[in-house]
Amino acid sequence: MDGSPTPDAVILLAKGGYGEWPQCELDGMLAAVRATRRYPHVEGAFLDSGAPPFPSVLRELAERGATRILIAPVFVPLDRSLREWLPKVVRRSLKKHHLEKVEVVLAGPLGERPELGEAVVRALPAADSGPDVREGAPRDVANQWLKPPPHRHHVFMCEGPRCATLGSHELFVRLRERLAERGLAASENEAGEGVLAVRSSCLYPCNLGPMMVVYPEGAWYGALNERGIDRIVDEHFGNGRPVEAHLRFQPLPSQDGMRSRDRAPGAASP
């Protein structure tokens, strides 16, 4: 809107990814925006995976005094579902942390900007004389990618649109951090007693989210929060005791195999 003040903070929002490469790409964009000196605060965040998670960065900027924050998705494409639930994630974060006085502005999709096409055109000539991808390629495949790491528990954290709106991405980051702190991450637990944690799309009981399923027990956890994640890591994964406060469904033996015991009636389909 004309006459609106310039934002005093910017979040460059990446889709996600673990490891140093996604962060390096984001760092390059952050450096370019910071070099303009237009905004006092410029930070990066990840939406689906990786750290820091977007809601945490939003909260931290508000705590540092930002009153008008511009969120700029820097990935393509920005699909319809993301366009619909990204504002919901923002509203939830503002409400949860009592940031009623903070204004948040959402930039349009990067893919709709003609400058992006121009940047692609400028980037192509640099690759014209590149080597064939088969040159210098490794002759063998790393063994660690041929089989899953040994683990006792396999965990699926729902990051479908509704659970993500309720904060499941933040909870997945916390889950990974807590597992690492306890030495329970499958990749670091050589005894095979660890937890292999992965993200999933919609798990269906949306009204009970955020949802997480633990195998081989088949325990479905719902209404998760940070304290619940900590308890599940300590009590379920650490000591073998499911956390009843968040347990919503758990299979019971039957003549036909396994059936689900409903711990919280009223689950709705997405």
- Please spell the DSSP secondary structure of 213-246, one letter per residue: EEETTTEEE-S--HHHHHHIIIIIIHHS---GGG
The reply to whether 91 and 152 lie within a common domain is: no
Q: What is the pLDDT of residue 270?
A: 36
The reply to whether 159 and 214 lie within a common domain is: yes
Q: What is the pLDDT of residue 3?
A: 66
Is 270 contained in some domain?
no
Radius of gyration in angstroms for the set of CA atoms belonging to the chain, rounded to a whole number = 22
- What one-letter code names the amino acid at 201? S
Q: What is the pLDDT of residues 236-246, one digit of tens each?
A: 999 999 999 99
Task: Give the long-range contacts of residues 41-45, CB within 8 A, separation 24 or more.
Answer: 41/8, 41/9, 41/10, 41/66, 42/9, 42/10, 42/12, 43/9, 43/10, 43/11, 43/12, 44/11, 44/12, 44/13, 44/14, 45/11, 45/12, 45/13, 45/14
Per-residue confidence at 84, pLDDT binned at 50, 70, 90?
A: confident
Q: What is the pLDDT of residue 162?
A: 81
Question: Do 206 and 220 contact (CB within 8 A), yes or no?
Answer: no
The reply to whether 162 and 251 lie within a common domain is: yes
Residue 258, pLDDT > 60, answer no
Mean pLDDT of 81-109: 86
Total count of domains within the chain:
2
Strand 103-106 versus strand 68-73 pairing type? parallel
Q: What is the pLDDT of residue 73?
A: 93
Q: What is the pLDDT of residues 132-143, one digit of tens each?
A: 887 876 666 556
The reply to whether 21 and 89 lie within a common domain is: yes
Residue 259, pLDDT > 80, answer no
pTM of the model: 0.72
Residue 49, pLDDT > 90, answer no
Higher pLDDT, 146 or 207: 207
The reply to whether 157 and 222 lie within a common domain is: yes
Structure tokens at 189: 């637990």
- Tell me the C-alpha distance between 167 and 54, whole Å: 10
Is 1 contained in some domain?
no
- Structural domain span for residue 111: 9-122
Mean pLDDT, all residues of the chain: 86
Residue 31, pLDDT > 70, answer yes
Burial grade of 169 (CB within 10 A; 0-12, 13-18, 19 or more):
buried
The reply to whether 116 and 207 lie within a common domain is: no
Mean pLDDT of 101-113: 92
Structure tokens at 245: 């406060």
- Tell me the C-alpha distance between 37 and 46, whole Å: 23
**Poorest-confidence range of 43-57, 154-168, 171-185, 250-264?**
250-264
The reply to whether 197 and 239 lie within a common domain is: yes
Is 3 contained in some domain?
no
